[in-house]
Structure 1
């Protein structure tokens, strides 16, 4: 019996049940003896990021960590991608004198462990049983804390939310009537090697003033299925869009194009074609259930053909269990999340779907993994009071996240990354 996977979701409910199994079966995970480590040259440099090295051992250890957390996607590629990002984040923070204190790091480790209802010591003991050292966990937490401190220091002063913006966002969530929008979209893949060129193209497209010109760019560059319709989407309730996108859309006049919006492995732009108020209130949801099946190969013809075959053979989310049967559990991720917890790119695709419908517009692992995304259902929300301070903080955090994603893409584009 091997070690069970651990799903990292809010409170990580399955983690606690896994601990005893993990402790009993660590030897089955395939740890390296000193002799094996030497034979496989585990401590040799595998990737060079500017003047910082990533060893084979670190990659193997991150892969184990991802397996324990049951992270979606192909773990080898994801481990490399995360470690490159960690080096860039730590390097950028150190360049301006930012380094988290020992107290901050320990607090971060405690917080991470608490999501699994474990103490830091219990969490460390569990991952060590799975072949992941405490130092690897510490490094993982340190890069995240350093990056948050850097983003706050670099961009915090630029992220002011006006009262008018809060009013507009509040109106979109509390109005007795509803608001719906007619959008066109362009979703452009932006793998690392092309990130700078795609960003430059996106900034050019953002200056477009006509629907015809925007449609032409959508047909040429967009990876979304809407490209066949010149990027045109049907009417959508504003509440069905991701929360971080609503203020951006509501700030546009008909014909205007949004600034480029960074997404994982992609850049998005939206053109507002029309907006109207409705008598019926916008639907609100307490949870959205969806399933994501991960297909190796990214947007290659073979991967897309596999996705089309699956799409033609399933009618509901439960059917995907049969598709994933016998494969590594990480190929299928299904759950219900509150809307604010759903990644922006996934939330955007789900907004366009009815239950049972599928999107194949997204990728993971720097474009190497295709995401077959299916909407399972939406749970309606009861009316709740909205706190202006919380709404303002949410808008501010969304903008900081946008700055963070864009800055990391810039660091990647400027970095010297060499894989041995």
Structure 2
């Protein structure tokens, strides 16, 4: 149920007053485009009205910067929506609140949000969606073989195992653009030897000494975001660069096979993260190695963190699909009690001492067989459950692949952009 909350009211503020307060002055420059203080205030108001998660001012800043980047790319590609498409998009967004476009605009106005703010928000979203479909749609096509793999991976009859190599390169903000360009070059590699050389030279993980090579791993053990990307590779091919906090990851498929063994699925992954100031400096990594030598289970980290602020130690248990992407990557490589020091936070200034505590096996619920369901419903034209599932898997694989490509493209646009805070 959509509820509008008038967090701020701008109705009594005149244009003269706004100008006097500098609200129409530039606040942020994104390449050649400007974001004004007034736009920031309006978007923050709308974020509060729509109950967007997070601090409204922070949400507004991030959204508007990304909107400028999306529109700039869309203009270059010719995918900006026309007036008819824009009005339809506004109506579609309003319908999510069970309101007409006019009713939604009026409700926003009562909360102090102008129609132009809503139009700009929808325009950026539509332009980006059009661009993503044009740019990445053809690359996201899913083959019958990929659907077969996904079906087998999720069935009780067989399982897919993959042999991967990894490169995870630190990318703190000052070096982000340079690392992104290097990652784009690595993603075009098709030689295992060449990828291994790049891993030894650039990767920050413990596997760099082995050229980034990982052992055989069940596909189900990989983070959900990585599975469709791996299934779309042929041996020797490399994923598009995957942006994670302060780093960029790439994976090369070396081999893939199916087996009759089906591994358990997990309802939750329990882990502990101890945050160490200093990032990947020699001194901090040396301290991390000393801690690694004296801890065997996650509970031991409470002793390490004793007397320090509570936030230096995080203990979590989340479903695999809800784990942060970079945390999920590292945990998928660990056994309980093992540690990774490949990740950082705070722009590379904090080292993450990550330990896997354990995995909780999911108990599968027993459902009604499709044949019985069709009979119970008395449907004269029963749906083919196999065809229906294949279609759902195809759409899911395509959507995840497009979303991953789009996220990486936006991250590259941001890394290449000139963003100046006024």
- Per the TM superposition, whether the score is higher than 0.5 is yes
Q: Which has the larger radius of gyration?
A: 2
TM range (shorter): 0.5 to 0.7
Q: Residues 55 and 97 of structure 1: is their aligned pair in 2 closer, same or farther, counting only changes over 3 Å?
A: closer
The structure 2 residue matched to 1:336, chosen from 314, 318, 323, is 318
Is 2:189 the partner of 1:207?
Answer: yes
Deviation of residue 125 (structure 1)? 11
2:251 is the counterpart of 1:270: yes
User: Among 96, 104, 111, which residue is 2:89 paired with?
Assistant: 104
Shift in alpha-carbon separation, 1:338–1:198, aligned structure 2, 3 A: closer
Give the SS at the match of 2:80: coil
Give matches, 1:375-390, under 5 Å: 377-380=359-362, 382=364, 387-390=389-392
The corresponding residue for 1:351 is: 332
1:233-260 deviations in Å (ceiling 9; x for gaps): 3442111113443354356566x24143
SS in 1 for 2:402: helix
Cα pair 2:40 2:64 within 8 Å, conserved: yes
Q: Please give the secondary structure, in 2, of the residue aligned with 1:101.
A: helix
- CA deviations 1:170-217 (Å, max 9, x no partner) are 222225243433332101244566555434433543425245x43332
Distance 1:301 1:135, change over 3 A: farther
Residue aligning to 1:188:
169
Q: In the TM superposition, what whole-angstrom CA distance separates every residue of 1:286-313 from its partner, at most 9, and x where no partner exists? A: 5556677888x89464996799599889
**Matched residue of 2:148: which SS?**
helix
Residue 30 of structure 1 is matched in structure 2 by none
Paired residue total = 378
Asked if structure 1 preserves the Cα contact closer than 8 Å seen for 2:152 and 2:159, the reply is no
Which residue matches 2:157? 176
Q: Show the 5 A alignment for 1:320-331.
A: 325=310
User: 1:106 & 1:371 partners in 2: Cα distance?
Assistant: 45
Structure 1 residues 338 and 305, CA gap change in structure 2 (3 angstroms): closer
Which residue is equivalent to 1:315? 298
* 1:43 CA drift (Å): 4.4
Assess, with a 3 A threshold, how the Cα gap between structure 1 residues 409 and 229 changes in structure 2: closer, same or farther. Answer: same
Partners of 2:57 and 2:350 in 1: CA distance: 11
Deviations 1:206-229 (A, max 9, x none): 425245x43332232113343355
Alignment check: 8 A CA contact 2:334 2:356 kept: yes
Instruction: Give the 3 Å change call, closer, same or farther, for CA 249–92 of structure 1 in structure 2.
Output: closer
The 8 Å contact of residues 71 and 80 in structure 2, kept in 1 or not, is answered as no
Aligned to 1:401: 403
TM-score (norm 2): 0.65
Shift of 1:338: 5.8
C-alpha separation between the residues in 2 aligned to 1:138 and 1:356?
Answer: 52
Q: Distance in 1 between matches of 2:21 and 2:298?
A: 46
| 2:221 pairs with one of 236, 240, 244 | 240
Partner of 1:392: 394
User: What SS does the corresponding residue of 2:137 show, helix, strand or coil?
Assistant: helix
Q: Distance in 2 between matches of 1:135 and 1:150?
A: 22
Structure 1 residue runs of 5 or longer lacking an equivalent are 1-10, 28-32
Q: Where does 1:134-149 land on structure 2 (aligned, <5 Å)?
A: 143-149=124-130
Q: For 1:358 and 1:71, locate their aligned partners in 2 and report how far apart those are by CA, in whole Å.
A: 31
In 2, Cα distance between the equivalents of 1:304 and 1:61?
A: 44
Match of 1:8 in 2: none
Scaled by the length of structure 1, what TM-score is found? 0.65
d(CA) in 1 for partners of 2:316, 2:182: 35
CA distance in 2 between partners of 1:154 and 1:160 (Å):
12
Q: Distance in 2 between matches of 1:365 and 1:141?
A: 32
Contact kept, 8 Å, 2:240 with 2:405, in 1: the verdict is no
